[in-house]
Amino acid sequence: MIKKLCVIGAGTMGAGIAQVAIEKGIETTLRDVDDQFVQRGLKTIGTFIGKKLEKGKLNQAEHDAILGRLKGSTDALEAAAGAEMVIEAVFENMALKQKIFAELDGICPKETVLASNTSTLSISRIASVTRNPERVVGTHFFSPVPVMRLVEVIKGDKTAPSVVEAALEFCKEIGKTAILAKDVPGFIVNRFLCLLYNEAADQIYKGYATAQDIDNGLKLGSNHPMGPVEIMDMAGVDVCNNALKALYEMTGEERYKPSPLFEQMIKENRLGRKTGRGFYEYK
Ligand SMILES: NC(=O)c1ccc[n+]([C@@H]2O[C@H](COP(=O)([O-])OP(=O)(O)OC[C@H]3O[C@@H](n4cnc5c(N)ncnc54)[C@H](O)[C@@H]3O)[C@@H](O)[C@H]2O)c1
């Protein structure tokens, strides 16, 4: 059982991971490089937990106890002190992640599990800069973390079986379902999702189908809760393009080569909900 967790990176994913951990009784320190980012992460979590209080899903004592388990810090040493597990959720950049893992490897006792929330990068490569690569593992959460039930647990080439076990146990502890994934580009789920996004964009680009028909097709004909086009607008057309580009570069497989429609839409600032226009228009 993990009793104390440290999360590095207080952005979308880091804040989400910290939230589910404190809700499940785990003392958590959220670390970022600048106090304004730490405060932003703490505020996001406070707002979500506050809403549960307003809706009567938590009483005041439960609300206070949950938030009482959360701390913020800009200091890596202070944040990682006493943590049995550290989860890194900083920008998707190999050099940055390797720098953080080298630092964590130096300051954390050997028993501390070091996990990365990377969505595309190789766990083995991240671990290669550490002196103890056997304690490095991937824990790939999905966004929004409090809602999505899955975590992909990724074993690097040197990850110890006991560390994989510890990661699987941790997922259970925080109420998530884990699946074991190989350390291949895109792991399991993103390899599928990227294909769906690319196929949808390709059909629209070639004039074979409209966004609406594709979404209706997959929702009504295949029971998808959301259509792939709606999801792309929510996640960001640029974000989906980057994910596809990364998978294409890493695998060399043509099926991941982004449809030309992505670049066209990016040039027109049609990035999805965040710019008011993507595949659909938003008021
Ligand atoms: N957003 C998603 O849908 C999603 C889903 C699954 C996995 N991921 C992965 O999770 C990771 C984080 O993504 P995100 O969307 O939360 O990013 P984000 O941009 O919202 O947050 C990243 C945070 O890391 C901080 N940071 C940068 N360098 C740091 C350092 N040296 N030390 C501490 N903090 C540092 C930044 O200040 C920022 O607050 C990435 O690897 C991403 O690929 C993202």
* Span from the CA of 176 to the centroid of ligand 1 (angstroms): 20
Ligand 1 pocket test, candidate residues 6, 8, 13, 239, most atoms within 8 A of CB:
13
pLDDT digits (tens, 9 = 90+) for 104-120: 999 999 999 999 999 98
Tell which CATH architecture fits domain 191-275.
Orthogonal Bundle (1.10)
The neighbour count for residue 205, using CB atoms within 10 Å, is 14
pLDDT digits (tens, 9 = 90+) for 3-41: 999 999 999 999 999 999 999 999 999 999 999 999 999
* Minimum CA distance residue for ligand 1 atom 27: 90
How would you write the pLDDT of the chain (283 residues) with one tens digit per residue? Answer: 999 999 999 999 999 999 999 999 999 999 999 999 999 999 999 999 999 999 999 999 999 999 999 999 999 999 999 999 999 999 989 999 999 999 999 999 999 999 999 998 999 999 999 999 999 999 999 999 999 999 999 999 999 999 999 999 999 999 999 999 999 999 999 999 999 999 999 999 999 999 999 999 999 999 999 999 999 999 999 999 999 999 999 999 999 999 999 999 999 999 999 999 999 999 8
**Are 19 and 146 in contact, with CB atoms under 8 Å apart?**
yes
Domain 4-181 classified CATH 3.40.50.720? yes
Ligand 1 pocket test, candidate residues 77, 119, 237, most atoms within 8 A of CB:
119
Domain boundaries, the chain: 4-181, 191-275
For strands 136-141 and 150-155, give the pairing: antiparallel
The structure tokens listed for 196 are 């769906």
Per-residue confidence (pLDDT) for residue 150, from 0 to 100: 98
* Span from the CA of 14 to the centroid of ligand 1 (angstroms): 7
pTM: 0.93
- Residues assigned a catalytic role: 119, 140, 152, 190
Question: CB within 6 Å of ligand 1 — which residues?
Answer: 8-14, 31-33, 37, 89-92, 96, 100, 117-119, 140-143
Alpha carbon distances (Å) from 222 to 65, 217, 226, 227, 235: 42, 7, 10, 10, 21
